[in-house]
Amino acid sequence: MDQVRWGIIGCGNVTEVKSGPAFRKAEHSSLVAVMRRSTEMARDYAERHGVDRWYDDAVRLIHDPEVNAVYIATPPASHKQYTLAAAAAGKPVYVEKPMALSAVECREMIAACRNAKVPLFVAYYRRAQPRFLKIRELLDKGAIGRIKKVDMQLHKPVQEVDRLGRENWRVNPEIAGCGYFCDLGSHMLDLIQFFLGEIEWVEGETWNVGGLYTAEDEVAARFEFAYGLRGNGHWSFHGDHHMDLTVIEGERGRISYSHFTEAPVMLERKGRFEVIDIPQPEHVQQPLIQQIVDHLLTGTAVASTGATALATAEVMDRILGRVDPES
């Protein structure tokens, strides 16, 4: 393989700017085929993005001889199905997050890719973005001393689509795994483990306060890392205000950051604040996609794999009270 030639299964909003163009802009990478269940929508996406071929059948895309790597950007309910099909065809897989509906499904995906001897990557793309790599560098260098605690908060106002009672797959547990917590909370829990190591113990509670849909709209969790560091998180999707703030507190200061906004990282030490403003890339997945391409061509490391995403899925399952026979 001297060029990674991608095929996309599922051309929804995430592929318009966040990921799709990055497959063409990454070095030694190209986007050669796309698939969507609607032929017209697949053709429209392909024409707008300069892609030569389009399909309304995922199997045909997977077996296209020009495609040598597959990106799965469908809702989570079909991630396992398409991952297993791509692995059976001997093609590397890059799958959107959350990786699947449960940790059990994640293990099936990992096993299928391992047996087929193809790599599996997951779109927890903040692990490769310069802003968050800077935070990890500060932590690794001991910029705030020994870490004492972690506090994660995400509050989002009610979405208009939910207030109007329209169909929204992101709050349908059969398609998304749970509500907005699966979509957004998974990014936050994955990133904190990238910074501080795997969460070893966790407990959580969920509520449906607003009653606008069947999934939970509020989640609280307490967790602990292997070396005794404790943290807590609170996710609310039924209020009237916005808050996106994680604080990592150490013996000599604290680091504060947002996951989903352009707010700068704040480093506080001895009462003094340092503003670290590193812009997000135009296509937020491009740094991770470049890592994946480089790995497929030269074997270099990738920050987000099936194994790292499984650790996040296990934490999510425990917070949501799902039964996992291997946890």
Each residue of 3-48: pLDDT tens digit? Answer: 999 999 999 999 999 999 999 999 999 999 999 999 999 999 999 9
Q: Does residue 248 share a domain with residue 186?
A: yes
SS (H, E, C) 196-238: HCCEEEEEEEEECCCCCCCCCCEEEEEEEECCCCEEEEEEEEE
Q: Does residue 67 share a domain with residue 160?
A: no
CATH number of residue 74's parent domain? 3.40.50.720
Is residue 307 within 8 Å of 124, Cβ to Cβ?
A: no
User: What is the arithmetic mean of pLDDT over 50-67?
Assistant: 97
- What per-residue confidence (pLDDT) applies to 68? 97
Is residue 42 within 8 Å of 35, Cβ to Cβ?
A: yes
Q: Does residue 95 share a domain with residue 235?
A: no
- Look at residue 96 and tell me if it is in a domain: yes
Distance CA 243, CA 223 (A): 21
Q: Does residue 257 share a domain with residue 204?
A: yes
Q: Does residue 185 share a domain with residue 118?
A: no
Tokens encoding 163: 């207030």
Q: Does residue 93 share a domain with residue 46?
A: yes
- Look at residue 68 and tell me if it is in a domain: yes
Q: Does residue 83 share a domain with residue 185?
A: no
In 10 A of CB 291, how many CB atoms?
Answer: 20
- What per-residue confidence (pLDDT) applies to 239? 84
| Domain enclosing residue 227, as ranges | 130-280
Q: Does residue 155 share a domain with residue 268?
A: yes
Instruction: Name the domain count of the chain.
Output: 2
Q: Does residue 28 share a domain with residue 103?
A: yes
- What per-residue confidence (pLDDT) applies to 196? 98
Q: Does residue 141 share a domain with residue 261?
A: yes
Q: Does residue 163 share a domain with residue 91?
A: no
Q: Does residue 111 share a domain with residue 59?
A: yes
Is residue 96 within 8 Å of 127, Cβ to Cβ?
A: no
What pTM value is reported for the model?
Answer: 0.96
Backbone angles phi, psi at 147, to 5 degrees: -70, 135
Mean pLDDT of the chain: 96
CATH number of residue 262's parent domain? 3.30.360.10
Distance CA 207, CA 205 (A): 7
- Asked whether the predicted pLDDT for residue 303 surpasses 90, the reply is yes
Query: What is the distance, to the nearest Å, from the Cα of residue 238 to the centroid of all Cα atoms in its chain?
Result: 22
